[in-house]
Amino acid sequence: MNIPTNLKYTKDHEWISLEGDVATVGITHFAQKELGDIVYVEVETLDQTLEKDEVFGTVEAVKTVSDLFLPLAGEIIEFNDALESTPEAVNSDPYGAGWMIKIKVSDVADYDSLLTSEAYKELIGA
């Protein structure tokens, strides 16, 4: 199972990378595998400021729809528009082309409270 060590994770299976005060967010390899073939990603919270753990969007797979939870409080400043035409990128490249949003983080110190790759591996039993 692919769980990059340079990222942080949430119990809800999102991954986060941080550069300065801007975080990139997507769902993990484990999450996309559990969901199956992803057919649609919806984010209607662009330009909104949300609190940690609020729903920022949904991901739709062939058999289910799942909420996406914001791992850190902040303003959603970018949506990966490429997912509108190629949502399957979340399946094929969840940590690259399948990223979902970028947020301007309210408090960068909160990043340290997220799960490390080792803690995430324990969570999913990998």
The pLDDT tens digits of the residues spanning 35-69 come to: 999 999 999 999 999 999 999 999 999 989 999 99
Let me know if residue 1 belongs to a domain.
no
pLDDT interval class at 2 (50, 70, 90): confident
Let me know if residue 3 belongs to a domain.
no
The pLDDT tens digits of the residues spanning 14-27 come to: 999 999 999 999 99
Closest among 42, 48, 99, 98 to 73, alpha carbons compared: 48
Please check whether residue 95 is in contact with residue 29, taking contact to mean a CB–CB distance below 8 angstroms.
yes
Let me know if residue 80 belongs to a domain.
yes
Number of domains making up the chain: 1
Let me know if residue 2 belongs to a domain.
no
Let me know if residue 96 belongs to a domain.
yes
DSSP letters for 46-94: TT-EE-TT-EEEEEEESS-EEEEE-SS-EEEEEE-THHHH-TTHHHH-T
Let me know if residue 92 belongs to a domain.
yes
pLDDT interval class at 106 (50, 70, 90): very high
Let me know if residue 122 belongs to a domain.
no
Mean pLDDT of the chain: 96
Distance CA 4, CA 117 (A): 7
Let me know if residue 77 belongs to a domain.
yes
Domain that holds residue 98: 8-106
